[in-house]
Copies of this chain bind each other. A is one copy, B any other.
């Protein structure tokens, strides 16, 4: 039984990669750069986006968001005040309550987004440190938010996620004075599983480091333009 299961998983990932490539081609045709944003539940992805995306138009970057959740549209509602295109994708309707977004789910939602008008699409994945890292969706960059309330051991316990990401936003640093937490130790653990990853210390609540993150988002758009 077990070998069959592994076979099914491999087939599913193959099919996923094929659809991810189709997404990638559509993004390229539309001239939109795509970031797959992942984290554990409650790490602060949405507040980070609320703060960082507000200033992106001033940088000349038109951004849209694809908001993934098992249920509800709480995050999409929060982002709608930014007056940017936001599309909600729920995995409990038609997708069996999946714990991650895959390429096909993203594909079904693309028609609802004005891709041709965007420079940057942020895909806010489901809060989960395991499966979202396994499913390519066709993004240019995979990044994650890691909150300092989660413990320094997370890169070692969820290595695939930290390996899949080129940028780790270390969030909630405003809480550091109230925690027994060593950011250097977290960053050493990140370097152990992914030596090439960039780490960026941020407080979405106070705004500390948010400018640097916004700047990083503009570089994703710039490098796509440079290679176009």
Instruction: Give A contacts to B, CB under 8 Å.
Output: 1-2, 5-6, 8-9, 12, 15, 40-42, 69-72, 74, 94, 96-99, 126-131, 134, 147, 149-151, 153-154, 156-160, 172, 174-175, 178-180, 205
Q: What residue of chain B has the Cβ atom nearest to residue A98's Cβ?
A: B130
Known A71-B156, A99-B130, A149-B172; further 14 A-B contacts with Cβ < 8 A? A5-B12, A40-B127, A42-B150, A69-B157, A70-B159, A70-B160, A74-B153, A128-B128, A131-B131, A147-B149, A149-B149, A175-B175, A175-B179, A180-B205
Cβ of A174: which chain B residues have Cβ within 8 Å of it?
Answer: 178
Report yes or no: B42 in contact with A134, Cβ–Cβ below 8 A: no
Cβ of A179: which chain B residues have Cβ within 8 Å of it?
Answer: 175
Cβ of A69: which chain B residues have Cβ within 8 Å of it?
Answer: 157
Question: Which of B42, B94, B99, B205 is A147 in contact with, Cβ under 8 Å?
Answer: B42
Report yes or no: A175 in contact with B149, Cβ–Cβ below 8 A: yes
Report yes or no: A131 in contact with B40, Cβ–Cβ below 8 A: no
Report yes or no: A70 in contact with B158, Cβ–Cβ below 8 A: yes
Report yes or no: B160 in contact with A130, Cβ–Cβ below 8 A: no
With A6-B96, A147-B149 known to touch, is A41 a contact of B158 (CB < 8 Å)? Answer: yes
**In the complex, what's the smallest C-beta–C-beta distance from A91 to chain B, in angstroms?**
9
Report yes or no: B156 in contact with A72, Cβ–Cβ below 8 A: yes
